[in-house]
Homo-oligomer: A and B are copies of this chain.
């Protein structure tokens, strides 16, 4: 696989089996195969493209995704606030297009991440994304997490679901003490209903806003993404406990 970047900063992730047709002419597959990462390749009309060996991040960014797919800022926050690292035992539901699964699977590697999905169409998109990126440490299960969780002693469970409160009781039985139940909800009403079920957890709910700057004129860009979701991090303290205030 090759990552091509043009003069405008546009990215193209291509296999390189065939010639690549751009608005500015053709990039030859044969020539491309001789290029090293960091070099420049030209179309027959003389337009240059940077040739870069793609990273996992490039595969994640170029994955097929739905309109509501999770953003990198939220992926990073989920990983950092719940302490996910190599070997962390993580369960995710629902898979959706698999963006968060890919992101977290990369971090837990060589461990394995499990993800539950109930919709066959989403599962197919996610599997396609995993395959393209060469990710092998994800186990995708066709399973409804509202019905229960088979895995035990989990470090983290992440939810991107319409009714996350239905998972809380299952999480109590499947999380390690000190583990995190993380829920990602666009509406604050969902977050509130989830929050109301969190007996025995210590939680915080946050929103993460990234603002991009135009550094030529040194000002924020005029428009931005104002909202993706409220994210609740609920740490499981075990069944013996008194209530946290």
Contact = CB atoms under 8 A, between A and B. Distances in A.
Interface of A: 3, 5, 7-9, 36-40, 48, 50, 52-58, 60, 72-73, 75-83, 85-86, 103, 106-107, 109-110, 155, 176-178, 186-189, 191-192, 195, 202-213, 215, 217-228, 230, 232, 236-245
Given A76-B76, A224-B226, A242-B7, A189 B208 contact: no
Q: This chain: how many copies in the complex?
A: 4
A14 to B, nearest CB: 15
A230 B213 contact: yes
Contact of A56 (B83, B109, B232, B238): B83
A239 to B, nearest CB: 7
Given A38-B176, A206-B213, A52 B237 contact: yes
A106 B108 CA distance: 10
B109 A85 contact: yes
